[in-house]
């Protein structure tokens, strides 16, 4: 069963969280965290995302994002997709 569609509108604030598969770590090193933060910065440049607060845990993250353009889906596809494509090496 798929997740319900997000309600998106300009100027909205969202608490976004994402966890690794099977609660596995998604950041293996400081460089992994820095790479993820670089994708957050590029989401601001490309899509106008304003990340007010972020918290990176070993196996998940929390973000408070404002979307001046109402484009959360694009922002999250950019952040998660870019990190996954370039992402951390699999441990299994």
The pLDDT mean for the chain works out to 87
Assess whether pLDDT exceeds 50 at residue 91.
Answer: no
CA distances from residue 3 to 6, 12, 63 in whole angstroms, order as listed: 9, 19, 19
pTM for this predicted structure:
0.80
Tell me what pLDDT residue 65 has.
97
Tell me what pLDDT residue 21 has.
85
Strand partners, 56: 61
Measure the CA–CA gap between 79 and 21, rounded to whole angstroms: 16
Task: Tell me the CATH class for 12-86.
Answer: alpha beta
CB atoms within 10 A of CB 62: 13
Q: Where are the domains of the chain?
A: 12-86
Tell me what pLDDT residue 86 has.
60
Tell me what pLDDT residue 68 has.
97
Tell me what pLDDT residue 15 has.
96
Q: Where are the beta strands (DSSP E) in 2-86?
A: 12-19, 50-56, 60-67
């Amino acid at each position: 069963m798929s997740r319900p569609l997000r309600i998106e509108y300009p100027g909205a604030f969202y608490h976004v969280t994402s966890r690794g598969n099977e609660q596995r770590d998604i950041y293996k090193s400081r460089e992994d965290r820095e790479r993820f933060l670089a994708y957050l910065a590029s989401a601001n440049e490309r899509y106008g995302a304003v990340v007010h607060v972020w918290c990176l845990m070993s196996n998940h993250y929390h973000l408070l994002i404002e979307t001046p353009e109402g484009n959360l889906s694009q922002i999250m596809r950019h952040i998660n997709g870019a990190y996954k494509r370039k992402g951390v090496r699999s441990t299994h």
